[in-house]
C-alpha cells in the first residue's frame, strides 16, 4: 500500500510520516518511509542568509529536478517493497508551489502523475498557515513567510487533483495526528493501480 502525505510547510508531514511508520513497525508490520524533498528548505535558508530571493522560475526549475529524481527513485523502491510505504511529499507539492507562484503547471509533472502508479490515497494535512508559521519559527531551521505559506495553501486547494485528496486536520498534537492517520490507513482497502484515487469522506 502506498500513502502520500502532502501539506504546506509546518503542517507536520515529516514528523507524522516518521511516527506512523514507526508505529506500524512496532506492531510487527512492514513499513517504509520515503522522502520526496526538493531542496526547498536548504535553498530558503541559503537565500535568507544572503538576503536574496531566487526568481520563481529558477527556483522551480531546481526544485523540479530534485523532486522528479526523488519521486522516480522512490517509486522504484516502492515496487520492490511488500508492505506500507509512506511518501513524504510528491509531485503534487511541486504543482501546488507552481500555482502559489503563478507559474503554469507545465506538461511533464501532470504526465508523470498519470504515468506513475497512483497512490492508494493522497492524505493532505490541513493546517492554518498562521499555525504553520508559528511552528516553523519555533523549530528555527528554515525561513518561510506567512504570505508564502498562505499562497502555498491556496495553491494546493486550486489543484485539480485536490478534491480527490483525503484531508486530515493537522492542527492537533502530533500523537493525535498519527493516531488519526493510523486509523485512516487501516480502513483503506488496497486497490488496482488503474482505479481512481480515493475520494474524500
Q: What is the pLDDT along the chain (201 residues), one digit of tens a residue?
A: 999 999 999 999 999 999 999 999 999 999 999 999 987 666 555 555 656 667 889 889 989 999 999 999 999 999 999 999 999 999 999 999 999 999 999 999 999 999 999 999 999 999 999 999 999 999 876 778 999 999 999 999 999 999 999 999 999 999 999 999 999 988 887 553 333 333 333
Closest CA to 85 of 63, 114, 117, 109: 117
Which CATH superfamily includes the segment(s) 2-187? Answer: P-loop containing nucleotide triphosphate hydrolases (3.40.50.300)
| Separation of alpha carbons 6 and 19, rounded Å | 15
Q: Which residue, 16, 12, 4, is CA-closest to 128?
A: 12
Whole-structure pTM value: 0.86
Residue 84's contacts (CB-CB under 8 Å, 6 or more residues apart) are 1, 3, 21, 24, 29, 30, 31, 32, 185
Amino acid at each position: 500500500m502506498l500513502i502520500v502525505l502532502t501539506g504546506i510547510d509546518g503542517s507536520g508531514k515529516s514528523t507524522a510520516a516518521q511516527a506512523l511508520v514507526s508505529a506500524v513497525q512496532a506492531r510487527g508490520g512492514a513499513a517504509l518511509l520515503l522522502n520526496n524533498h526538493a531542496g526547498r528548505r536548504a535553498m530558503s535558508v541559503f537565500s535568507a542568509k544572503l538576503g536574496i530571493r531566487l526568481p520563481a522560475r529558477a527556483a522551480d526549475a531546481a526544485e523540479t529536478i530534485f523532486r522528479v529524481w526523488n519521486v522516480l527513485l522512490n517509486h522504484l523502491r516502492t515496487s520492490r517493497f511488500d508492505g506500507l510505504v509512506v511518501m513524504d511529499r510528491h509531485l503534487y507539492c511541486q504543482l501546488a508551489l507552481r500555482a502559489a507562484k503563478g507559474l503554469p503547471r507545465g506538461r511533464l509533472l501532470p504526465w508523470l502523475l498519470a504515468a506513475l502508479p497512483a497512490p492508494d490515497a493522497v492524505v493532505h494535512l490541513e493546517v492554518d498557515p498562521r499555525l504553520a508559521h508559528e511552528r516553523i519559527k519555533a523549530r528555527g531551521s528554515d525561513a518561510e513567510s506567512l504570505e508564502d505559506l498562505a499562497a502555498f495553501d491556496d495553491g494546493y486547494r486550486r489543484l485539480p487533483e485536490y478534491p480527490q485528496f483525503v484531508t486530515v486536520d493537522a492542527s492537533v498534537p502530533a500523537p493525535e495526528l498519527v493516531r488519526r492517520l493510523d486509523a485512516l490507513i487501516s480502513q483503506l482497502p488496497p486497490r488496482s493501480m488503474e482505479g481512481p484515487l480515493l475520494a474524500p469522506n
